[in-house]
Structure 1
Amino acid sequence: MVNESVTINYSVPAALAAANPGTAILPLDDPAFAAYGRILDGLRAEELLELADRTTSVNPEGNVYVPGVPEFEALACVRNFVPVFGGMPVQVGYCNGPNRTMNGLEYHKTPELCAAVTESVLFLCPYTALRNFDTCDTSAASVFYIPRGAVFVLDPLVLHLSPCAARREGFKMIIVLPRGTNLPLEDGISAAASPEGDPESRLLFKFNKWMIAHPERTQLTSQGVHPGLLGENRCINPAGLD
């Protein structure tokens, strides 16, 4: 549960760092995060975080992403999110799960606002690491620890995907995006590039969602996601955090 009396501690827990000795996990308030987004310290979301904690769960079999939850979107605090998106209508949903690996990278051409119901870890890559709308190496990603209660926004075009669990119990994250994002493409909108077409279009997977997958992630490549994420499918080992 999160409330206004809680002070957010952005420090990376020692147990998490010890469980991942080969990975430099940065705190979200590290200056390096400015290349990817910003923390919204003044944006209060406790009511939303508490509702999400009470009403959603972690499926140990895999991640669950729900683009929009009407009960979340009805909360008064959601009005405070809209200016981040320039007044565009937003959807307020969640991503929960036990994920531990990168698996792929996606980007949107709009911001993405996130609110951490639990601790998690996030891989982030600059758009410039995407070569010719074809490949990106996993080594280009920075890794950030997201503490419970943190509210932050990712800039447009930042490469990211699902958080990874910082705790063995998994993670819960609120995801706010312009309405329609991540929904299936309409008939007649092709995600495949013709030889004369825009090469970026081969990455278009869903509305406002361009994506590449690691070849090991057959759950994505079997759906037509371009297998452009190269190198080790980097992993986070969760720790038991109290």
Structure 2
Amino acid sequence: MVYNLLSNPLYSIFRELFLALFTKIDERIIEETVEKFGVILRNKHIRIKTMIVSSLCSIFKHYRNNYPITVFCKVPGMEEMAREQVHLVLSLTKIMLASIRHQIHVKNFYISYCGNQEEVLCFLPFLRPGFLKTITLDNRKSENAYLDQVVILPQVIQAEQVCFDEFEKDRIPIESFWNIPNVRITKATYNFHEMNQLIQHYFKHDYFEYFAMARVDDDWFPKDSNTFIDDENRKSMIVKGPKFAIKIVHKLEKRAIVLNRILFTY
């Protein structure tokens, strides 16, 4: 059964609230935006290739208290909105998503945000696990960026790739990646011993595929480590596990460490 959101009185109330709040933005733009969002919510058969939730951190320069300012989409004049209005958009969006009777089929999900993980939790739990392939979490310099509730979601665990952008190391401990098969990190870096702990965990749970980490130092490998130069002239190491092995490659030109699962004959 397709849940017709337009017939829901609650949705009509939300719609009127949207239109009433944005007095500084053309009403037609807001109405069209809400209508498009309604199409997603009321049709359980729709398939979305990419859902982008973008923040306006660069615009709201005069708000520096980490107040959640994530919005569903950017529209002309949005920078004139008060932060309370943006927060209400976020809250109403979560209520809308929670009110439908099915999870949305989204293949790729990207969120850029300035607040805490509650902003991510406003969207991610309402996307269908398994169908969701890639997730990008772009933290725009928030000081409250912990993801302990996010990384245990089935959407994250079942995704084919999860990218963590702009997260400081102290905000995302190495344990956060235990259950995620394919991880990409652009800012936080972990030393060799921390990565070895993660590798040993991977060996105990046969689901690892790929791990990439940028911005590492040139001397990331310990001096006494058993490294070699591979056929692509990269400093590498192979760590053997009971069922498979993991090759660690240091890509100097990209300042990156990459872990790949490899077949290994014992």
Larger helix fraction of residues? 2
TM-based fold match above 0.5: no
What TM-score range do you get, normalising by the shorter chain? under 0.3
After TM superposition, the score normalised by the length of structure 1 is 0.26
Pick 1 or 2: higher relative contact order, CA cutoff 8 A, min separation 6.
Answer: 1
After TM superposition, the score normalised by the length of structure 2 is 0.25
